[in-house]
């Protein structure tokens, strides 16, 4: 019963787009780069979905706005110190 309320955690994959010539990514070209939680909220007035992509510690990594017309905009957050 406790599993019913836990958020799903997904593996994130990274692959170099320059090495990939087609639509299929081979397993040797991809590596697991981290884990992510994805939640979707919908604004019923304007038809806009807000997709939040979080890391394992619930820090938001990406905010994506998807319009019902098909257009989307994304904001990627980087917390690394440089």
Q: Taking residues 2-15, what's their average pLDDT?
A: 72
Give the 3-state secondary structure percentages of the chain, helix then strand then coil, rounded to 5: 10, 50, 40
Q: Domain segments of the chain: what residues?
A: 2-76
Whole-prediction pTM: 0.59
Measured CA to CA, the distance from residue 71 to residue 82 in angstroms comes to 33
User: What pLDDT, on a 0 to 100 scale, did the predictor assign at position 20?
Assistant: 64
Task: Tell me the pLDDT tens digit for each residue of 28-65.
Answer: 778 888 888 888 877 666 788 888 888 878 888 889 99
Beta-sheet strands, E only, within 16-82:
30-43, 48-54, 60-67, 72-76
């Amino acid at each position: 019963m406790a599993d019913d309320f836990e958020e799903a955690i997904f593996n994130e994959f990274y692959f170099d787009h320059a090495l990939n010539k087609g639509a299929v990514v081979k397993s040797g070209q991809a590596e697991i780069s981290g884990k992510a939680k994805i939640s979707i909220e919908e604004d019923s007035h304007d038809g806009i979905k807000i997709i939040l992509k979080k890391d394992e510690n619930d820090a938001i990594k990406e905010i994506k706005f998807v319009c019902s017309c098909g257009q989307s905009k994304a904001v990627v957050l980087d917390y690394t110190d440089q």
